């Protein structure tokens, strides 16, 4: 029973819930970044480099069975080992973009936190009359 109680306390702590929300949002955000890389960035890079489609770039590492098309999908379905360097380039660019976006988000959050903590606090209310009187008595008793 104690183990279940400890697990319940762990599971409902704010950090675990925040982590779960972050993972869910991150999964959805990853789809957006995949689309950004695949549909916008990589076509622009391909255009600049010379109309290359990186996702279809690969090196065949063994013999190709007769009648197999020379596409990455067909070769993988046929069980032919391929060095799919184009897919790796796409994933690496995807990672760099995602890391940069997260860096910008964390930087902005830290800036907002600094602004929030640097706001001047309201002046504290003056102490009540009885506290002032007690302080005067204390200070007069300390004097020789």
What is the domain-level CATH number for residue 63?
A: 1.10.1200.120
Q: Per-residue pLDDT tens for 48-60? A: 766 656 777 888 8
Q: Per-residue pLDDT tens for 63-109? A: 888 888 888 888 888 888 888 888 888 778 778 877 887 788 889 88
Domain membership of residue 139 (yes or no) is no
Distance between CA atoms of 48 and 43, rounded to whole angstroms?
Answer: 9
CA-based nearest residue to 34, from 101, 90, 86: 90
Domain membership of residue 140 (yes or no) is no
The range of the structural domain enclosing residue 59 comes to 2-122
């Amino acid at each position: 029973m104690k183990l279940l109680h400890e697990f319940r306390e762990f599971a409902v702590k704010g950090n675990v819930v925040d982590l779960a929300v972050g993972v869910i949002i991150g999964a959805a955000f990853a789809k957006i970044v995949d689309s950004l890389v695949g549909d916008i960035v990589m076509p622009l890079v391909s255009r600049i480099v010379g109309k290359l489609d990186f996702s279809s770039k690969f090196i065949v590492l063994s013999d190709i069975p007769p009648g197999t098309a020379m596409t990455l999908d067909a070769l993988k379905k046929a069980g032919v080992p391929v060095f799919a360097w184009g897919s790796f380039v796409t994933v690496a660019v995807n990672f760099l973009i995602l890391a940069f976006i997260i860096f910008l988000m964390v930087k902005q959050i830290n800036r907002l936190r600094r602004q929030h903590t640097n706001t001047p606090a309201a002046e504290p209310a003056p102490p009540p009359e009885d506290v002032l009187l007690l302080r005067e008595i204390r200070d007069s008793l300390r004097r020789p």
